[in-house]
Structure 1
């Protein structure tokens, strides 16, 4: 009110009007704006006797103007944020008009051309590429523009100063409010590493196929030739056996001959199992309930006979009412190899193996637990986790059947079982090892 009164007095005292002055006022209902004009009022003698004022409420206009300024500021912020986002997308992004000129580009595209974004804006592809290459890009753009349909995920080569690259390009038409195409929005992603990886993968697949075919050839060749060799040995042993039966005091020779035949038969079985093992990962092998105790007894008998010149004591402690386990013909090879391993790596004159058999429940599944405890040289802790890996052999290798512990692990995995090795005496690996087997039950 004071401000208004001061303006009135100024007009009265000076006689000079104040026109189109914007004023604001704070009211209980909010701030208001008005355009004020004040002119002096004179009497007949020309003396100023008052003020004539006119006020036009412009509150609505001012609020509209304020919202417009806020909208412009928001648009500017959004535009800057969008530009920042596009600049940080790892792809070449552009917007072109129908005259083949760049309207907008992101930083990646500008960097690819060693130019700034401002320099590229308004430029035609014919100013950046050789004529034929630029024409090919332009023809592709026109196809999108005239057809009004996008072209997505087009893989194409891209020649750069650093050499040939590969990009995945997509282009979509931009429409105005009348559904007329007014430009082309495009993105190109550098997929050179992916493309090279695909090329290398195809080459690797071809190399693998050739290697696999060679492996199959050599496997079949080995199986064929070793079977022929074993058959020849078996035939010779049979002829030898016929002659030995006619001789006196031939007991030892007969035993040796029987041993030769048994080893030949086991060698033939080994070849058969190698063939079957090669199919484990190629086709499903059926399992069935097997009385594993009978198989274990057969393996114990075989090991003792194979090492009859050594002092071997194998003791079995088993619970009553043991179930069968789900297995197949590989089970005997599994037991043979574990027992032979215990004998081979025991330096004591007397080879002692204790086999403890019990039932165990683990993660709601019923297992048969078998512990093969020997008095051998043991296994250091660092090797316990790798002893079953392919290619891993015990020190001082002395030969064997060829079914290493890695294949033992493969058979156990086939049975959905578990195997690991512990010390016979805790914290002292040198006193012997305990190979622990968990094999799923297969009923009674």
Structure 2
């Protein structure tokens, strides 16, 4: 052998690969030959080269791992798991990978990293001893699901209150229905409802469920100006006991509950009682639960006041029927649209070519959430108006119109909406209140929602008018939407009993508008944008008394 330098060779023999290192002895007459089988190493190298073809800009994390180390990680995988080629398998994945290797071919799990939620698909690579981990960021989907869950629970509470109002023949039976429904929906164990006697500064327990004899004996009638009752009945502050051990311990000795929620019941901004529920288990109330229970307290208070006279009881039953129809149709549609969008998002996240459709679906979900919020707002406003009427004062109308337009533009950012105002006035006052914004928002909302044109045109004409010696501000909303047939124009502005036959979707908003305008001593009319042709759009005309 003529060389004194080492020689390295790779040779294929009988479908196996070998690496040889030949080291010559001094003098060059002999050499030491060392060999090693590198077949598996070559296979691994081929796999790694294949993996390297994955685009590093892929936003979803991808890992391939052997029994004890990382073979490949794209950029998203490196950043998420803090690994690189050759790193040990992350602890959070180790148990799942072992499960796939020993028991399952495929595993799908949800994990949380840095306040983001990922869906991980862990599977064996066919004909290889490697495991694939592919992740999808589902944080937005989970947020949407949470929003849907919160709305679902709130609407379920509202529906139970509505059903209770429909069944009840008196205040006591109404409160018993509401108490039992609330305990069941919150998965709690007992509770009670107090009503306030403002003359004697006391509150009486009018109905209860699963309370201890000691608690009933000592708290059947309580002084509302004493702590902690003062906070609830005078200050109007809800009380949540679950994460305050000192108070919790003292309270549990008498009530028997470890966790308690006490909610003031409001009517006309006056506290008329409290709803109280308790659990035998430790329960830390989430922010969403607290807000939802506050909402329930306000709705119950309004309904209780309605039923304190025979006339209010009859009205409450009519409104209950209207709300039931509303919940069955509108709320179910909202939930169905959100649920369908979530399913499509989940499907599209797995298909790279479909991912560009996800933002559009998120817009649909956002639109439905806004629609649901508007629905709840309308219900609440109707309840307040029916309960206490409306106090009016001079309100500058042009600014309110502009605020309503901004609401519509924010609510429908992806639609081409052209809204024009024709007015000789920069400022003009009417006799109204804060509900005037709801009037304009509802009319504009329907003008956008019931419009199939690529460009939605809305013209707002503002002028003065006079009827029977009284001066009004006349506001016309002309749109190029689907229009309203003559035989339906009057019905969509009808009273509660007619409202059950409402035009689908429009009823609650326009019924609210009609109630508000009547309380202003004004008028609302529905005409065709082009006389005699409903298909060319509508013209909603509002007359509101002028203010000083």
**Shared fold per TM-score greater than 0.5:** no
TM-score relative to the length of structure 2: 0.33
TM-score relative to the length of structure 1: 0.41
- Higher gyration radius (CA): 1
